[in-house]
Amino acid sequence: MTSTLEIHNLHVAVEGKEILKGVDLIVKQGEIHALMGPNGTGKSTLAYSLMGHPKYEITQGRMIFKGVELNDLDPDERSRLGLFLAFQYPVAIPGVSLANFLRMAINAQRRGNDPDDKGISIPNFRVMLKEKMDLLQMSHEFAGRYLNEGFSGGEKKRAEILQLAALEPDIAVLDETDSGLDIDALRIVASGVNTLAGPELGVLIITHYQRILNYIRPDFVHIMLDGRIVESAGAELAEHLEEHGYDWIREKHNGDLVEV
């Protein structure tokens, strides 16, 4: 059965201020969606809300994944259901290699599904990790690096994509806020997504810049403005944005933004 992430009329407040004002979005396994929009319109807020960040208060609406209401699940439970959020573990963990971290993450996921699970054996894990690294054309020595310690922007992205490959989620949400300026990081994410994309994986890639879409061709493009998705179309919408910027969207939807 195809896994689906459904967002219905989602309203989210941060510190009492309403940021998302009724977002509707459906992402299915096997589809690549790009969520674009000017800065400060709520794209990252949507990503944090999907992750279950405590600061983001759902005031109305629903998020449903595989038929399960996400609103009351903690981030771990969401991840175990098969939802991947790129910035789940943004911190450096001194003394923990990327390989060990990935094994712990896989085992936590397995144990979440079956409390008696003994975890993946070390030989099996090594074989799996090598396969994934070869697929992504990453050097094996990278997995021995301590997690995020002294990682460049590109290496952080590489670690993120390897985590995505190892956890094999049904739907991945990637917020590319900071990589907008770094072409190396952008290429790593794009080629990772292109390699891993297929019928088993749905992707929601959040980006301010059209540039990453020169490397990934999305099936659907959505534009967020002032806490709502105001336009949805195919890849041609991103091309239109590259040519015309966001101004026409603002003009077209100005009337919608009047508070009632």
- The yes or no reply on residue 52 touching ligand ADP (CB under 6 A) is no
Residue 109 interacting entry, from ligand ADP, Mg ion, none, C-beta within 5 to 8 Å by type: none
Number of residues assigned to the chain: 260
- The yes or no reply on residue 43 touching ligand ADP (CB under 6 A) is yes
- The yes or no reply on residue 222 touching ligand ADP (CB under 6 A) is no
Q: Which one of 27-35, 36-44, 60-68, 134-142 is the stretch in contact with Mg ion (CB under 5 A)?
A: 36-44
Q: How far apart are CA 112 and CA 117, in angstroms?
A: 9
Q: Given candidates 3, 29, 45, 210, which one binds ligand ADP under the rule CB under 6 A?
A: 45
Q: How far apart are CA 50 and CA 243, in angstroms?
A: 31
Q: Is the dihedral of CA 186, 188, 191, 196 positive or negative?
A: negative
CB of 174 to ligand ADP, least distance (A): 13
Q: Which one of 25-33, 34-42, 89-97, 101-109 is the stretch in contact with ligand ADP (CB under 6 A)?
A: 34-42
Q: How far apart are CA 136 and CA 140, in angstroms?
A: 11
C-beta separation of 45 from 233 below 8 A: no
- The yes or no reply on residue 207 touching Mg ion (CB under 5 A) is no
Q: Given candidates 41, 44, 148, 179, which one binds Mg ion under the rule CB under 5 A?
A: 44
Three-class SS state of 70:
coil
Using the 8-state DSSP alphabet, how is residue 197 labeled? -
166 C-beta neighbours (distance < 10 Å), count:
24
CB of 206 to ligand ADP, least distance (A): 7
Q: Which one of 12-20, 25-33, 58-66, 182-190 is the stretch in contact with ligand ADP (CB under 6 A)?
A: 12-20
- The yes or no reply on residue 40 touching ligand ADP (CB under 6 A) is yes
* Beta pairing class for 83-85 and 228-233: unpaired
Q: How far apart are CA 96 and CA 104, in angstroms?
A: 10
- The yes or no reply on residue 179 touching Mg ion (CB under 5 A) is no
> Which residues contact ligand ADP (rule: CB under 6 A)?
14-15, 19, 37, 39-45, 55
> Which residues contact Mg ion (rule: CB under 5 A)?
43-44, 177
